[in-house]
């Protein structure tokens, strides 16, 4: 049997496409993060997790400059990997997701919940602002076990200190350090909720107004992955 997937065509490009070889303009960084944060609040309210990363988020603008963020939720990944492996027209394989945004509890095989998205969101914010990963082991392309050691056991400097060696070292807004530190607590219960993280981040931007966003949840027409978010019957999540 075949699995057919139908979902709204995402606006714009994936973030990984936007930032490869270039820095995302700071206005786009702000709009991406605020739209994504609002989207994650909705997703968490629905009892789901999104695993946000540069690879599974699209950012674009509709007429009038309205920012739109689209998130590919994790339930589609096995289907896309299978389709890509069988597509003889496909070019060189590209990773769909990176492990460098995964929270410690995920790396350690513990249950994953909304706090893991808060962790990933904070790391994504750092990377969009500065143009580089927070992790030194990732920047230096060291082996995976060195990344795991850095993430799980080593003390971390403040985000602003780690930004010093990045392509855009002065881009972090005032107050980013304490916000980031709260979001990347190793213990998931110590992290803020996504709603709290969004509110605090919006304050860093001067209480920027909420943006209209769209985050269509793909609907599997045939071959629903058992236990995936599709079984929840969600077809669309949006902020009017």
Q: What is the pLDDT of residues 72-130, one digit of tens each?
A: 766 554 444 454 445 444 443 334 346 788 899 988 989 889 999 999 999 999 999 99
Residue 165 reports pLDDT greater than 60: yes
Query: Under a CB-based contact definition with an 8 Å cutoff, are residues 168 and 131 in contact?
Result: yes
Pick from 96, 186, 100, 181: which is nearest to 139 by CA? Answer: 100
Look up residue 10 and give its two tokens.
Answer: 């995402």
Judged by phi (left if over 0) then psi (alpha if -120 to 50, else beta), residue 26 lies in alpha
User: What pLDDT sits at residue 6?
Assistant: 53
Q: CA 4 to CA 12: how far, in whole Å?
A: 23
Considering the chain, what percentage of its residues have pLDDT values greater than 90? 38
Note the Cα 111 to chain centre separation in Å: 18
Residue 166 reports pLDDT greater than 90: yes
Q: Could you give the C-alpha distances from 220 to 3, 6, 24, 232, in angstroms and in order?
A: 7, 6, 32, 12
Pick from 144, 122, 116: which is nearest to 134 by CA? Answer: 122
Residue 225 reports pLDDT greater than 60: no
Dihedral of CA atoms 97, 132, 136, 94 in degrees, nearest 10, equals 30
The pLDDT of 28-48, averaged and rounded, is 89
User: What pLDDT sits at residue 39?
Assistant: 87
User: What pLDDT sits at residue 200?
Assistant: 95
> In sequence order, what are the residues at sequence separation of 6 or more whose Cβ sits closer than 8 angstroms to the Cβ of residue 77?
96, 97
Least confident of 1-15, 164-178, 198-212, 213-227: 213-227
Least confident of 4-18, 65-79, 121-135, 220-234: 220-234
Most confident of 52-56, 66-70, 174-178, 218-222: 174-178
pLDDT band, very low/low/confident/very high, at 167 (cuts 50, 70, 90): very high
| Beta strands 4-6; 219-222: pairing state | antiparallel
Q: CA 57 to CA 165: how far, in whole Å?
A: 26
């Amino acid at each position: 049997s075949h699995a057919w997937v139908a979902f709204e065509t995402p606006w714009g490009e994936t973030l990984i496409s936007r930032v490869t070889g270039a820095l995302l303009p700071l206005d786009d960084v702000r709009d991406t993060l605020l739209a994504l944060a609002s989207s994650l609040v909705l997703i968490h309210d629905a009892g789901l997790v999104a695993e946000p990363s540069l690879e599974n988020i699209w950012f674009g603008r509709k007429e009038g400059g309205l920012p739109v963020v689209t998130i590919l939720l994790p339930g589609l990944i096995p289907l896309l990997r299978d389709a890509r492996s069988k597509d003889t027209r496909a070019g060189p394989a590209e990773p769909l997701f990176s492990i460098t945004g995964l929270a410690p509890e995920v790396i350690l095989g513990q249950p994953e919940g909304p706090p893991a998205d808060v962790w990933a969101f904070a790391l994504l914010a750092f990377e969009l602002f500065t143009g580089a990963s927070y992790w030194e082991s990732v920047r230096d392309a060291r082996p995976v076990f060195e990344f795991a050691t850095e993430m799980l056991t080593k003390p971390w400097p403040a985000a602003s200190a780690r930004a010093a060696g990045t392509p855009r070292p002065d881009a972090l807004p005032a107050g980013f350090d304490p916000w980031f530190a709260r979001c990347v607590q190793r213990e998931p219960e110590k992290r803020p909720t996504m709603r709290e993280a969004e509110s605090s981040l919006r304050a860093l931007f001067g209480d920027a107004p909420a943006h209209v966003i769209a985050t269509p949840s793909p609907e599997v027409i045939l071959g629903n992955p058992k236990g995936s978010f599709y079984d929840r019957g969600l077809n669309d999540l949006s902020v009017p």
